[in-house]
Structure 1
Amino acid sequence: MKSSWIKPFYEELSITKAPVAYREFPGVPVRGEERSESAPRFYLRALESFHLLESVGLPTSNALAESSKNVAFIKNLSLHPPGRYRTVPSELVLRSFRSAVEFALEYAEELLDAYVFCAKTAQATGVSIPQFLEKESISQFLGPKLTTIGVNTWSIGRTARQGLNTRELGVNRDEFDTQYFSNLREHRGLWDLLMVLGGCYLVILGTLMARRQGELIDLKVGSMLNSSGSHLRFKARKSGTGDMRQTLERPIPAFASELLRLLENFQERLVAGGVLSETSNALMFPKEVNSGLLKAGQSSFNFMLDRFCDFFQTEIDKNGRRFYLRQHQLRRFFAMLFFWGNSFSGLDVLRWFMGHSDAEHLYHYISESTPGHVLRGVKADFVVEHAKAHDPQTLPLLDFIENHFGTREVLLLDSDELGEFIEELLANGSVTVEPHFMRGTGGTTYEVLICVSDNAQ
């Protein structure tokens, strides 16, 4: 029996370039520490599992199985704890969000319709979609938009691999890789565009809803939206185990809700057509080689995000590396957006929306993921707002303001100029703005304090 397990790709184990590139460019590290212990630990766990081959009658090497227990070998590995996720440039995320929304609204319905039509027809003949389309034209399953943009095959990568296998003269892997990404952006493959669409869903939900990756993986057809479609329903991670996790509801914009309804209808039609036995996790998109849907999980999510970034050509850094988005980065970006728009006054709402049980934990999470100059700007805006509202705790600042501007009447001052001045005070330590957390029987409460240093000049 053929395994449907999608094998992950590890660049460290690649002797030469793969026949169809996993990514168009090397990726900008998503964590602050480029080398971490995660990859070596993965390989060690794989070595530990070699003895399981014996249970199914397959030969194995005792040396490989025992190598994972070699203390001297493990001690010589350079292992570092994984660094924190890096902050993605805000302009990049905003452009990606716009691209995701525009693509999904324009093509999602036709892409999903085309797959359902094709899958049901192939199912009736008893073969997989790729096998079926070797003899039938894909054009009969496409709507007018997909025909217009140039879809003409099931999978660009499958076609490229078949070409490589023929060992034709002049064929080389680099040429196929280059051609693949060119064809991807020319909309040639239906399956490839479905992968891009999956990336669009992840970018939209990640930016708007700030959900953990596991919470998106767990979304189920038929239960992820409330009856009106106005709220996303999900099992909160880090709030219990298994079925005991708390179910939360958070507001979701109408267009995003409609996109999720399309996925529900998509799976329901596949069940009705005999392609699927039952509906399952919502963010499952088609397999390339066989009929059916990829399992929702980290590997499939990251693959779709990579295809999204290559399709829309996200920025390249000075080292020739592309920014490949990850779900946790989008979740952090949401926190940054909320800070920029609402300052500290929205901390409780953000904590509720993001599913954190502790306000102090949320604040540390946000402050660690927000660039220093951005956070100073947020704090400066907070001070200006409260100074103009005559908050008593801003009174110690008036001496600074009068010495600089020649007046204590903050309402007469330009907010931007005053904000820049406050930022200077924050940068040199003359002023600090931090939330003070207090724990009581009702949980953690906080108050944002504006303090002037005793040593301030």
Structure 2
Amino acid sequence: MESVYGLRGIPSAGLNELDAKVLFKTTLQKFRGRFVTIPYDVLLHMLGNSFEYYLSNGRAILRGVLDMMDAVKHHRFESRLRFNQLNDVLEQRVLTDELKSIGIREWYPQKQDVGRPIFFEKLRNGQFLLQSYQVLLGSFLIVLGSLAARRQSEIIDLDPTSCLEPRINPYLESSADTLYCLQYSARKTGSRTKHFILSIGITLPLAKMLWDMMEFRRECEARELVTSKARLLLSIDHRKVLPCKLEVHAYNSVLDTVCDFFQSPTVVIDEIEKRYYLRQHQLRRISVLIFYHSSGGNIEAARHLLGHADLEQVYIYLTENVPGALLESVKAEVITDCIYSGDEGLEGFEWLKQRIMEKYDSKDFTARTLGEIEKSYEPLAKRGLKNMSVSFSDVVNQENCFDEVWGLIKTHKIDLTPEFFVVGTDDGMPETRFSLIIKIMDL
């Protein structure tokens, strides 16, 4: 230790005292459930407005921003760039009737106006070209983030030449029936330095939006505004009027701008009205939840959409924001159905069944109609050993069983959880599977 670190000025005594517990305490932890799942009406409001805005204004704004960056690059300013000079360039060399019809009059707002009511009024009137580009980019991210359900880092890192497959212009009439895919570098796959390249199907309108962004990026490189190493999505430096890499902060900032522009729904918290400001993780989760439930609860399909290799992580992803009472009742229903169907493959089944039978002083129970029960009693009734009148009070009905199971779950005496394990398939590849088990806590 001393020979490696001591010579470099690092005291080895301090390093010897480090262990996992110490590092864990000093590390900023991210807790599950730190993102609230957005309500469906919030998603629909933002998704519908984003589509409409992009289709109405997208290509005009992209052309305007390209012309503005190119005009500033070749304009000879008498002094360093100032607010009024940029507005002069915009008015003289960039502003078209199409841009004027959107409402654009200035390049960006004055610093003292940002955050004030006058700023939001001008923003929603489409007065600033830079903010209109941010709204456009935010609209694209809302649509892409919702429909493709990718991680934020996967979207930031989209390749400008290969993100759309096949690489055919979707605006062509011959492309109307073409099936397009989004190709991306999947996080949490491969190694730290090289990820697997995966693809996921996308709609034709989304393919057109993606094509527009690819054309915008290609034109930026052709005008020598960016290098060949630049990613697909670009932020714009408002002072230099040059494209730059879309970092996480800028990504979240354009989402904030588009939420302000479309006035996303609000919620009252502690008697204070607050707006929903969306994040990509929320868009990704709600789209996967909608897909999962519409597919009949196909967890493998959800895993493929999420791009997760670990099935256990998919389970956590789908359930971490389900209300506790709802999740408990679903677990109780699954256990009750297994008991009445005689499915003994559920681990812990016999212990629970025995407990319920002891409570109701029964030797066994199964799901039968009253008619079936009366028919089984018929031989005894003919011999006068049993009355043929049978009611629900004479049997342990399924509702009682459900209540008993739910009570045990709510008091944390039992729980139903998946147990994940890896098996080898016929082709020699590992595959994650799971079985449900009843966990019995200390009683």
With normalisation by structure 1, the TM-score equals 0.64
Alignment of 1:228-307 (within 5 A): 228=167, 230-241=180-191, 243-278=193-228, 280-307=230-257
Q: Which has the larger radius of gyration?
A: 2
Q: Deviations for 1:69-98, whole angstroms, at most 9, x for unmatched residues?
A: xxxxxxxx9997333222222221221111
> 2:300 pairs with 322, 326, 348, which one?
348
After superposition, residues 316-395 of structure 1 pair within 5 angstroms as 316-318=266-268, 319-344=272-297, 346-372=298-324, 393=343
1:154 aligns with 2:107: yes
Report what 1:125 is aligned to. Answer: 75
Q: What is the distance in 2 between the residues matched to 1:103 and 1:421?
A: 55
Q: Are 2:130 and 1:191 aligned?
A: yes
Residue 298 of structure 1, CA deviation: 0.5
Q: Between Structure 1 and Structure 2, how many residues are aligned? A: 343
Structure 1: how far apart are the matches of 2:401 and 2:107?
58
Per the alignment, residue 309 of structure 1 pairs with 259
> CA offsets per residue over residues 180-227 of structure 1, 9 Å max, x none?
111101111010011111111211121111111111111121021222
In 2, are the aligned partners of 1:271 and 1:279 still within 8 Å (CA)? no
Q: List aligned pairs for 1:62-211, cutoff 5 A.
A: 81-83=29-31, 84-126=34-76, 133-138=86-91, 141-142=94-95, 144-156=97-109, 160-161=110-111, 164=112, 177-211=116-150
For residues 311-332 of structure 1, give each alpha carbon's deviation from its aligned partner in whole angstroms, at most 9, with x where no partner exists. 1111222122221111111111
- 1:437 alignment partner, SS class: strand
Secondary structure of the corresponding residue to residue 251 of structure 1: strand
Deviation per residue, 1:105-128 (Å, 9 max, x gap): 111111101111222233232567
CA change 1:437–1:243 in 2 (3 A) is: closer
Q: For residues 446 and 391 of structure 1, do their structure 2 counterparts lie closer, same or farther at Cα, with a shift above 3 Å needed? A: farther
Aligned AA (2:35) = Y
Map of 2:433 onto structure 1: 445
SS class of match (1:294)? strand
Secondary structure, counterpart of 2:30 in structure 1: coil
Assess, with a 3 A threshold, how the Cα gap between structure 1 residues 355 and 378 changes in structure 2: closer, same or farther: farther
CA distance in 1, matches of 2:150, 2:330: 23
User: Cα RMSD between the aligned structures?
Assistant: 4.0
CA contact (8 A) 1:110 1:142 kept: no
In structure 2, distance between residues paired with 1:144 and 1:339 = 46
Kept in 1: contact 2:150–2:284 (CA 8 A) = yes
Q: 1:105 to 1:347 in 2, by over 3 A?
A: same
**What percent identity do the matched residue pairs reach?**
24
**Relative to structure 1, is the Cα distance of residues 268 and 399 closer, same or farther in structure 2, using a 3 angstrom cutoff?**
same
Structure 1, residues 381-434: CA drift from partner, whole Å, max 9, x if none?
9999x99xx98759x99967969xx9xxxxxxxxxxxxx999989865689875
SS in structure 2 of the partner of residue 244 of structure 1: coil
Aligned counterparts of 1:266 and 1:326: Cα–Cα separation in 2:
24
Conserved 8 A contact 1:112-1:266: yes
Aligned residue in 1 for 2:155 = 216
Q: Separation in 1 of the partners of 2:70 and 2:143?
A: 29
Over 3 Å counting, the alpha-carbon distance change for 1:400 and 1:279 in structure 2 is same
Q: State the distance in 2 between where 1:255 and 1:423 align.
A: 47
User: Does the 8 A contact of 1:286 with 1:293 survive in 2?
Assistant: yes
Once residues 208 and 117 of structure 1 are traced to their aligned partners in structure 2, the CA distance between those partners, rounded to angstroms, is 31
Distance in 1 separating the partners of 2:240 and 2:36? 36
Contact 2:61 2:133 in 1 (8 A): yes
* Larger RCO, structures 1/2 (Cα 8 Å, 6+ apart): 1
Task: From the two aligned structures, give the one with the greater strand fraction.
Answer: 2
Q: Is the 8 A contact 1:339 1:378 kept in 2?
A: no
What are the ranges of 5 or more consecutive residues in structure 2 without an aligned counterpart? 1-24, 169-179, 354-364, 374-398, 425-429
Deviation per residue, 1:33-76 (Å, 9 max, x gap): xxxxxxxxxxxxxxxxxxxxxxxxxxxxxxxxxxxxxxxxxxxx
Give the conservation status (yes or no) of the 8 Å contact 1:264–1:282.
yes
> How many angstroms does 1:253 deviate by?
1.4
Matches of 2:65 and 2:407, distance apart in 1 = 59
**Cα distance change of structure 1 residues 102 and 78 upon mapping to structure 2, 3 Å threshold:** same
Residues 199 and 427 of structure 1: is their aligned pair in 2 closer, same or farther, counting only changes over 3 Å? Answer: farther
Distance in 1 between the 2:257 and 2:150 partners? Answer: 21
Q: For 2:333 and 2:264, how far apart are their aligned partners in 1?
A: 31
1:372 is displaced (CA, Å) by 4.0
**Which residue in 2 is equivalent to 1:412?**
none
SS at match of 2:275: coil
| Distance in 1, Cα, partners of 2:230 & 2:400 | 55
In structure 1, list runs of 5 or more residues that go unmatched. Answer: 1-76, 165-172, 407-419
Partner Cα distance (2:76, 2:62) in 1: 21
1:243-291 CA distance string (max 9 Å, x none): 5211111111111111111011112222223333436211213221112
1:159-178: CA deviations, max 9, x gaps?
x22xx5xxxxxxxx69x711
Closer, same or farther: CA 240–122 of 1 in aligned 2, 3 Å: same
Mark the CA change 1:335 to 1:136 in structure 2 (over 3 Å): closer, same or farther.
Answer: closer
Q: Give the TM-score, by structure 2 length.
A: 0.66
C-alpha contact 1:87 1:370 (8 A) present in aligned 2 = no
State the secondary structure of the residue aligned to 1:320. Answer: strand
CA contact (8 A) 2:230 2:245 kept: no
Deviates more, 1:254-263 or 1:431-440: 431-440
Contact 2:103 2:126 in 1 (8 A): yes
Whether contact under 8 Å (2:72, 2:89) holds in the other structure is: no
Query: Aligned partners of 2:330 and 2:293: how far apart in 1?
Result: 6
